[in-house]
Structure 1
């Protein structure tokens, strides 16, 4: 399958604790086993079949690294959702979306994900069950969402299958803006899905379908058989773990 890809390599502003821990200016430039994290992600995406690879960043050193890797740097917007919208506008759908801190990323994970995406999806996300993650990376500490069908963690891989994925990115932007006003998030996402979630009656697939349905997009999921796909580098402890696994 031929597709384009967008790698988010933005910054939240201020000093990144992982970059500071590694002694570099930007997290994407951390060396792991002789390759920067960005290079590892570009390698995996390219090996999976990406024809065009965009790197969203506001950092000049990351921009130069992207060019060296044969990727196309593009200006990061204010927040990951806006950067994703810009990438989708530049590269079009279908578009694979991932992050520069996904240092363990492998081409096999990407192709397995794309093969599992339902045919009717406008947008899809890869997620892994707690037991799968703990089997493959028992030392990692992830954030889990508890649904009726188990505890799940995201894998930083998204498939923007059709232009309608823009509607989901619009909702993501709204949630980002309202993160300090939770009542607005509840209003946007709908009360009934949250009631079903609170009472343990909501599966993950149903949650995505409900939320997507509110904005007119078919949001779907795929389950990862690879627990390491949920491991990214958010904290210094994650970097130590990833370096140990790669060694």
Structure 2
């Protein structure tokens, strides 16, 4: 496994581009495409927009071939997002490592730089990008998103993660174990901690409280990074997302 940022202090980057299980409504309209990463968005394959935001990074890609992603490091195939991160690290992707997804079609260099700057400043081993509901609704009024509801805050994930060191990988290993338990609710609850699940269900859990619990559980410092731009939380999972993204790229939203 590699280690260390480049001479500018910039982390390496991993783009998760693998196809998820089940039917994808976006691919149904493009039967010739093997993965959503190659879906045309405003005339360009979606993954190209992500790679443009990562220009200058040492980029690894999971889920595409060398022909589909020329001049990139191709990570070994993996069955899940967490497994893909670990496989890339084991194949030599250096730490610190920025992780994002190929469907983050509104990702910009400004968003990337804001996230990485805050992640470095946090001193955490593992950082998770989030955006507050207020920021998303201010940027995209009326758009429906999925939110995690904490006491005092509602947030949405941004598909941005920062692994500063080997301890940060422990969070990914926990994530992989949780993926394996997703069809075993009791085992998953024990792994996360029943008291935390109860507190969340009763809306008593704060965002900070969750990350403090995660840090204790993992033996690593895990921190949320709150991004101010609501576009950070937009990915392309369904046709309405695609319509929104293309409207933004046309300057209509």
Are positions 1:81 and 2:90 aligned together? no
1:39 aligns with one of 27, 33, 48 = 48
Report the CA distance between 1:190 and its aligned residue. 1.1
Normalising by structure 2, report the TM-score: 0.89
Question: SS of the counterpart of 1:10?
Answer: coil
Match of 2:5 in 1: none
> Judging changes above 3 Å, is the alpha-carbon distance between structure 1 residues 146 and 193 closer, same or farther for their aligned structure 2 residues?
same
- Listed one character per residue, the Cα deviations across residues 29-59 of structure 1 (whole Å, up to 9, x for unaligned) are 112233211110011012xx52x100101x5
Report the more deviating stretch, 115-124 or 21-30.
21-30
Match of 1:193 in 2: 196
Large movers: runs of 4+ above 6 Å: none
Normalising by structure 1, report the TM-score: 0.91
Question: SS of the counterpart of 2:166?
Answer: coil
1:95 aligns with one of 72, 97, 112 = 97
Report the CA distance between 1:149 and its aligned residue. 2.1
Are positions 1:56 and 2:62 aligned together? yes
Match of 2:180 in 1: 177
Report the CA distance between 1:181 and its aligned residue. 1.2
Q: Is contact 2:158–2:233 with CA below 8 Å preserved after alignment?
A: yes
Are positions 1:28 and 2:37 aligned together? yes
Q: Is contact 1:38–1:101 with CA below 8 Å preserved after alignment?
A: yes
> Judging changes above 3 Å, is the alpha-carbon distance between structure 1 residues 166 and 44 closer, same or farther for their aligned structure 2 residues?
same
Aligned-pair Cα RMSD in Å: 1.6
Q: How many residues align?
A: 239
Are positions 1:148 and 2:157 aligned together? no
Match of 1:235 in 2: 238
* Bigger helix share: 1
Report the more deviating stretch, 71-80 or 106-115.
71-80
1:4 aligns with one of 12, 16, 19 = 12
Question: SS of the counterpart of 1:126?
Answer: strand
Match of 2:135 in 1: 132
Report the more deviating stretch, 226-235 or 114-123.
114-123
Match of 1:206 in 2: 209
